[in-house]
Amino acid sequence: MQPTLSTKLQLHYYLQDDLHKMDALARNTCEAELLAIIQEVACILNAHIVIDSEAWKEGGLRDIWTLTNANAGILSVIIGVVSLIISNVPATDPELAQLQKEDLKLSILERKARLAKLDKEIKSKNITKETVNNIVEIVDNNHKIVTRKSNFYKKLNNTHRVTKIGVNGLDVEGKDAFDEVIVDRKEFERFILHSNSLPMIIENEAVIEIISPVLRTGKHKWKGIYNGESINFSMKDNDFKNDVLTKKFSFTHGAAIKCVLHIHRKLDEVGEVVITGYSVDTVIENGHEGTFLETTQGKNHRHLKSLIDSQQDMFSDYE
């Protein structure tokens, strides 16, 4: 990528038989997903931009968007970053579990710190390829970007007239700021997420105030309050369920449990993390009005956890 400043992003659709038309709904969907990626990158860079659409051009089909309302350096960085995000073919098929691990490597504070170091370069007019690559590394595993990119290529993959796409930046006069990067149709599939499930969160000492227990057999869900919010959850602790059914434990106002809570999540169609359900794996303590008593399975769980933690501490000495 050359350091020439760009203020316009060009998406070039290459079509079968050199046609100059494609399905309008598919094109509109692709545009919406790409615009969402641009806006997300701008948001991460704390830039409030305006995107204007230029007249369509032929030669295949070309969409051009002009970015304004920020200095030329920031606009050029956004265009360079989006171009790489769209055109960099993943080394392997994307899997959400792996993406989640990668995303967790950079906390919000770490991201802000790294972006702060790049801020001077971003706001200057001396944009280098290294600057753009560093920002891509920070933003490329963003859930919203990954999901929008998957949506973009899923639509293209189902639009059979499109044989490949090209993406690049243009300068103010509409000339190439850097060479067009091509993504062939055979690569589209590699950008597409085939699962929207995320690794579940495990809370080992979650406290749930019981609103409505299940006092009969079956797969009915319990109702409680967790972190100030009403939730429905599945009770997976069979020992505790049996104790409830045999009336070893009773529930009155103020009843609560301390438990291992599994929080199940997924990405929605725009990349937002949404909770799909809760399940209690083990009831560690049963309580009433702040007084808790440890259950047998809770004692076993804590013993096993302490053994695992001590082993991890032992091996950490060798790191």
160 near 174, Cβ under 8 Å? no
The answer to whether residue 1 is domain-embedded is: no
- Which of 103, 101, 102, 134 has the alpha carbon at shortest distance from 119? 134
pLDDT computed for residue 20 by the predictor: 77
Same domain, residue pair 230 and 257: yes
> How far, in Å, CA of 272 to CA of 277, rounded?
15
pLDDT computed for residue 94 by the predictor: 65
Last residue of one domain, picked from the residues 160, 191, 222: 191
Same domain, residue pair 114 and 229: no
Same domain, residue pair 48 and 181: yes
The domain of 217 spans 197-316
Same domain, residue pair 263 and 248: yes
pLDDT computed for residue 53 by the predictor: 92
> How far, in Å, CA of 248 to CA of 85, rounded?
58
Same domain, residue pair 302 and 178: no
Same domain, residue pair 185 and 211: no
Give me the average pLDDT of each 10-residue run along the chain (319 residues): 76 87 93 96 92 81 93 91 92 63 59 78 75 86 90 96 95 91 95 87 94 88 96 95 88 92 93 94 91 93 87 61
The answer to whether residue 79 is domain-embedded is: yes
- Counting Cα atoms < 13 Å in the Cβ hemisphere of 133 gives 6
Same domain, residue pair 170 and 244: no
The answer to whether residue 209 is domain-embedded is: yes
Query: How many CB atoms lie under 10 A from the CB of residue 192?
Result: 18
Same domain, residue pair 205 and 149: no
Q: For residue 282, give the 3-state DSSP assignment.
A: strand
pLDDT computed for residue 311 by the predictor: 77
pLDDT computed for residue 33 by the predictor: 97
Q: Give the count of domains, the chain.
A: 2
pLDDT computed for residue 315 by the predictor: 57
The CATH number covering residue 255 comes to 2.40.50
The answer to whether residue 2 is domain-embedded is: no
Same domain, residue pair 204 and 186: no
Amino acid identity of residue 108, one-letter, is I
pLDDT computed for residue 118 by the predictor: 81
Same domain, residue pair 211 and 109: no
- Which of 160, 167, 136 has the alpha carbon at shortest distance from 31? 167
The answer to whether residue 3 is domain-embedded is: no
* Residue 242 φ/ψ, nearest 5 degrees: -65, -40
pLDDT computed for residue 14 by the predictor: 93
Same domain, residue pair 99 and 213: no
Residues 6+ apart with CB under 8 A from 136: 81, 84, 85, 88
Last residue of one domain, picked from the residues 141, 166, 191: 191
- Which of 129, 142, 56, 151 has the alpha carbon at shortest distance from 103? 142
Same domain, residue pair 246 and 290: yes
The encoded tokens of residue 40 equal: 């997300």
pLDDT computed for residue 93 by the predictor: 65
Query: How many CB atoms lie under 10 A from the CB of residue 149?
Result: 25
> How far, in Å, CA of 167 to CA of 11, rounded?
5
Last residue of one domain, picked from the residues 191, 213, 232: 191
